[in-house]
Each structure stands twice: as structure tokens, then as C-alpha cells.
Structure 1
Amino acid sequence: MKKRPGQGTTDGIIESKRQRTGYISHKELTRLRKIADGHQEKTVEVTEASFDPWDEHKDIEEATQDPRFSFLEKAKKTTIPSSWKQKPISLAASGKDIPAVKKPEGGYSYNPVFTDYEERLTTEGEKELAAEKKRLAAIELEQKKREAANRSAAEAEAAEARAYMSEWEEDSAWEGFESGAEDVRLNAKRPERKTQAQRNRIKRRNDEERKAKMAAHNKQKEEQAAQIKKLAKALAEKEKARSLTVVEDDSSEGDDMELRRRKLGKISLPERDLELVLPDELQESLRLLKPEGNLLKDRYRNMLVRGKVESRRPISFAKKAKRKATEKWTHKDFMLH
């Protein structure tokens, strides 16, 4: 008996066959050699597009119809959409156009200067602190609302229980059960006819109340008009100051850090990714830098803030039209002649 199994001896398991991935056929090798020598099989000629959808002369030529084919319907002229002539609305707070690819500042470098990096780190830290405070305030407000709702529900239940007990006590008592109920005498004052002096006094009082109410209403309207004038003046001054600020600002590019309040469409814009590296993650070489982020998401958000497209929400389960399959019975409708 052999101590070691031979090469022909197997364990009964057949290994899977794997194709050679680096194999190149002789035909492909010949073609690559011809291309390397400069002998290409086919020469691709680049031709300009011959069809222009906005060519006016071509539309005029097509509009002239041959009298032999006057019975045919005339071809309609291709019209340019009116929205193509409108400039896209930038979503920047300053109203300036946001560039497609903005030149990064010093704080965005992989090996930035300490002053630039410290300034940007402080700014982003303050933003995160403000967002965290806002989140905690919203949680606290929601908790207060929940506690107030529970408290009001408990008070309503207690009031309902008290009302039920009072109704039960009233139903259990009957007339003459309480002591001294027979001796109670109603000393109700009989209604008397008013004199003319009393009527005049009541009329004068009503007139004075109506005049006082009218004077208060007029005073309130005057105060509102004065407040409107004051707000209009303040708004005009603010608009003037903003226009002067825009004129003084010589930079032609907008910033997508501060966006205007009104968005395009009903769906809000996606949040911008935090492009910041922590101090312990800074690298001296660009080769050691870990790639992060999503280029597709960044390009899509850039198109949104530039006003090229509106924000959309992906519909996972779209509603489909309900279709009902029926069988036609017309083939069974026959007549005997």
C-alpha cells in the first residue's frame, strides 16, 4: 500500500472548470497588431448634424405645399418652448448665479493652512451646535405638548366623573326630602313697566357705548395704517441697503451655503454633505487621502441650486391604472336566414 496517494487518485470531487480570463484569440491579436502599426480596418468620418429643428428657412420651404397634394394636411411648424428663453432662477440668497464647479477655498484643501482650517472648523462646529440646540428644543416642545394633552385629558375625565356624580345625586333626591323645603318662599320681583325717563337713560347709554366702540375701532385702524407705513418704510430701506450691498460686492459667483427661503417645487432640497476632515484624519499626501462622498449626488444637488431642474422624490411603488379584462360575446350573435 502506498503511503502517499498518486496524482491519478482523486477524492471523488470534480473541480470546476475556469476559463482563462487573460486569453486573447489569434484574430484579436492580429487586429491589435494592425492598429498598433497604424493600419485600421475602417476609418470613421465625423459628419455634422444635418437636421436643425429650429431652422426657419427649412420651415418656410416645408410650409409651401405642392398644389398636387393640397388634400393632405399641412405639416405643423416646430415651435420653441417659451421656457427655453427664460433664465434659470438661482436659489442662492444673494440671487447670483452659482457656478457648476466652484473653486474651493483654502479650508477645503487636503493639507490646508492652519488658520484657514481652524476658521472653517469653528464655523462648521457652530452650525452643528445650532442644529443640535434646535433639535433638542423641538424634542422639549413636543414633550411639553404631550404632557399638556395628557393633563387636559385627565382633567376632562375628572370633570366628566364629577358631572356624573352630581346627576346621580340630583336623581336620588326628590321633592320635599330636604329639610325646610316647604317653608321656602319665592320673593321674585314682579316685572314693572319702565318709565320714559328710564327708557331715555338706557338709550343715551347705548349711544355712548356705540360711539366709544366706533372711536376705538377708528383708533385701531389709524394705528394699523401707521404701522403699515412704518413697515413699508423699513422694508424700502432694507431693500435699498441690500441693493447697495450687492453693488459693492464685486464677486460674480453665488454661494450655495445660504439659500433663499422659497424653493422650486414642493419638495425641499437635499442637505449638503459635510465636507470636513477632522484634525486626526488630515493627511500630508494626496495619495493617502481616503476618497469620500458621492459625485452623482453632488452634481444633482448642484443642478437643483442652480435652478436647472426641480427637486423630485423617487416613487418606489407607482400607481397603475386598473384594467378589467372582459370577453366579447359579439361572435355569438348570429342570425339564421
Structure 2
Amino acid sequence: MEANVPRKKSRIAKNKKRAWRKVDITDVEEFLEDERLQERTGGLVAEKSDAELFTLEKKAPLIDEEEPVPKKKRRKEPKELKCYSHLLPDPKIKLARKPQPVRNIRDKRPPHVKEKLNSGVKTQKEIRAEEQRKLVKERKQKKDRTKGSIQVASYDLWGDEPEKKEDPFAKPPVKRPKRKATSDLPAVQVPPSGASYNPDYEDYQELLLKAHEIEEKKLEKELKLQKFVREIQNVDTKTLEKTWLSEMSEGLKNHEVENEQDEGDAINTEDSDRISVNPPVRRESKKTKTQRNKEKRKKNLEKLKAQEKSEKTKANEIFRLKTMKAEIDEREADLQRRKQVRRQKWQAQGLKTRKLGRLKFEEPLLEIKLSDELEGSLRRLKPEGNLFVDRMKSLEKRNIMEPRQEAKKYRKYKRKTVIKRSHKV
């Protein structure tokens, strides 16, 4: 009984997306697939004409039963692979055409320009351009002719310098930027005349005096240090202890006083918070209206007096013209003097050595020969100083290089190798 019960048809709302799966669309898919296959294999059959679909056979069929003479089979050319056919363009797809150039362009030049061109009269610019082209052509031909030949000097090698011909097409040389020198001092300073191997007596004495002054300054410094050392050595132990204690306790008493002052200030601030800063206002001290008016009048009078005084001084300044002129001249002279001093300072800066590094520049030792060391002949003279040190000092003095110190030489001891007792065993 249950098997014969008719089943209810499931009602599906076709406007919902879930109903799409239950609709049969196989015939539509077959039709679309067939169309795609036709497009791939030469186009749609429905759109093609009869001439494209059918061909007329013009050859007559063989009536005789005799077999035809077999022709020589030509060697078939290898067919292109199908995979390469996909690379070829599809004949059904229409390609966009390139825009064709416009042929019939209207001449928009003014009539007077056309007449000038047709007349054949050349402008100065065109004439110059033609001359330039000829020059370039001649130069190129000349270069080609003298390509393999050996060049011979066309002027006297030992005579005066030949005149340089100006090239009209040569580019102007690039100007080198001007760089300000770091110092006005010359690169190689000429030594004094007294340093010669056979010097003049006066020049030699001047050089000796300069060297003597340098040595005296060195001795003064050494003596000063020795004196300071002796003073420290002669001081008693008790005085040393006292000075040490005074130095160590420096600021302790002051610190105690400061603490007391801070405490007093704190108390004062607490009192000031309770009591107001301004004095109390009393009825007797309050000014009346008449008093205020009097004060106002007094102020106005003082103002008027000040104005009159300033006007009088301005009027009297006409009689002070001479003194004013003298003052202006004096001021200008003072400004000129200051300007001169500034200029001299600025000029002197070019000869000074600036501090470039952490070390200060020290003048090199004066190279001098004593009177018993002087030799009359240059061959017997022993050289003084070092050229390398001289050049380095010159670079330092001219602010090109910072002052440097000679590197300290540390002695490297040979490394000791000791075998442990445990390893010996």
C-alpha cells in the first residue's frame, strides 16, 4: 500500500540561486560546446556562405577501366604541428587598423615666404650654414687623405712658439674654479741669509742672537719647574697636613651656613602664607577726590615742562652745528681707524697657523751651525736637519695638515711558554 502512494512533486522557487543546480541545462551546454568547436576549427557553419562550404569538382570521372599511369610521388613536406597552429593569429578576429598618414597637407606658409623660396634668394643664415658644411667636408677629406701618412713639423722646433690658429668650431675651455689658499705663506720658505755655508758676519750674528733667545726661554721654563719642585720638597709634613685638611674641609662650613639659611627661608615662607603681602588699607590713608585731581594736574604740568625743554634743546641745536660736525668727523675717523685695524688683522690671519687638531703647532728647531763648525767649502759641509720633517712642518704651518706626534715605540717581549707540572707527569 505504501509503495503505490503517489509522491508529491517538490516545489522549487526558480528565482532562488539554490534552484539553479536542479535545472537541466545539458542541451544548452552541448550547443555552446559545438559553437566553440566550430570557432576553433574555422568559424561558425551558419555564418559561412555556400562557396565556403561546398566545392565543385571540375575533373571528369574516368570511364576507361584501364588503370592510369602512376605518377611519381613527390616528397611530402612535413606538416606543421598542431601545437604551433595555436600561435598563429585567428582569421576571424578583426585587427585594429593603423591610422594612415594624411597625404593632402595644406601648405600653411604665408605667401611672402613662398615667393622668397621660389625666387631662389638665400638668406645670410643659409649662406653661413653652406660655408660651414663645406668647411667640415674639406676637413674630413683632408683627414681621410692624411690617415696613414707620417706628420712632419711645419715650424721650427728650436725657434719661437708657433702661432695657434683659432678653431671656430672648438668648444671653449672649461674654467677652473678659483680656490682660496689655506695660507698666504709660500710653499718653500727661504732660510735666512745667516744660515748659508759662507755667511756674512752681521747676518750670522743676527741668527745666533735669535737662537740664543730661544735657548734662554727654554732655560727659564726649566728653572721655573725646578724652583717649584724645590719649594714642595722644603715644606714640612705638618704644614702639608694642615693644607691638606683645609683643602679637604673646603666648603663644609659654608654648607652648614647654607642649611641654616634654607631653614630660615622655609619659616619665612610659612609666615608669609598666613599674612598677606600688601599692607593693610586704612581709612586715613585713602585719598580724597581733590587730592587725586591735584596729583593729575601736577603730572600734566611736569609733562608740559618736559616737552618745552625738548623743544628748546632742538632749537638750540642749530647753534651747535659746528660742534656736531666736529663730533661726526671724529666718529668717522674712529670708524676708519677701526676698519684699518680689522683689515690688518684679517691680512695677518693669512700668515697665522690655525688650530686644526688637538695638538698645538710647534715651530721647528732653528738649524744653525756654530762658528767652529762652519766650513768655507760646500763639499766639506755636513747637512743639518731632515728634508722630510721640514716638508711636514711646512704643511702643518700652512694649515694643510693638522699637527701630528711621532708614534711611541713599544718594546715587545718574547712570549714565555711554561709547561704545567700535571702535563710533565
**TM-score (norm. length: structure 2):** 0.29
Report the TM-score when normalising by structure 1. 0.35
